[in-house]
């Protein structure tokens, strides 16, 4: 029984540690992080400004960061090396073109 529990706990920690996308709220800002070590260029677009593409900042060898002002829900996506990319985001919403965007929901 304890082996099974240890195996399950290890699997959960492994999956959580391999998240390719996460966000943090601090000081009135929302920071969105995308892990992609092979990317040469990452751009970020959100419904906050009509989906204008903004360059994401490279935080380290694998992590890119986009920052937007805090203030309610918004849709967003990334463009990685010229291709639209939706990470594994917790919420998605259909866009006007039959595809989907990630949906950011603020922390309660």
Instruction: Answer whether 42's CB lies under 8 Å from 78's CB.
Output: yes
**Is residue 62 included in any domain, yes or no?**
yes
Q: Is residue 59 part of a domain?
A: yes
Q: In this model, does residue 75 exceed pLDDT 70? A: yes
pTM (predicted TM-score) = 0.79
Residues 6 or more apart whose CB falls under 8 angstroms from that of 35 comprise 19, 20, 21, 62, 63, 64
Q: Which of 26, 23, 62, 65 is nearest to 43 (CA)?
A: 65
Which domain does 99 fall in, by range?
A: 20-104
CATH code at 55?
2.60.40.10
Flag whether 33 is in a domain: yes
Q: Establish if 11 belongs to a structural domain.
A: no
Q: Is residue 9 part of a domain?
A: no
In the chain, the number of structural domains is 1
**Per-residue pLDDT reduced to its tens digit, 8-62:** 433 333 333 456 999 999 999 999 999 999 999 999 999 999 999 999 999 999 9
* pLDDT score for 17: 41
Q: Provide the token pair at 39.
A: 């990317």
Instruction: Report yes or no on 4 lying in a domain.
Output: no
* Residue 6 belongs to a domain: no
Does residue 39 sit within a domain? Answer: yes
């Amino acid at each position: 029984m304890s082996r099974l529990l240890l195996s399950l706990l290890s699997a959960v920690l492994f999956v959580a540690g391999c998240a390719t996308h996460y966000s943090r709220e601090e000081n009135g800002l929302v920071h969105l992080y995308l892990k992609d070590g092979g990317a040469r260029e990452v751009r970020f677009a959100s419904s906050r400004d009509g989906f204008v593409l903004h360059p994401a900042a490279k935080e380290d060898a694998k992590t890119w960061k986009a920052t937007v002002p805090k203030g309610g829900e918004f849709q967003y996506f990334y463009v990685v090396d010229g291709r639209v990319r939706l990470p594994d985001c917790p919420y998605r919403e259909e866009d006007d073109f039959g595809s989907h965007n990630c949906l950011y929901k603020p922390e309660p």
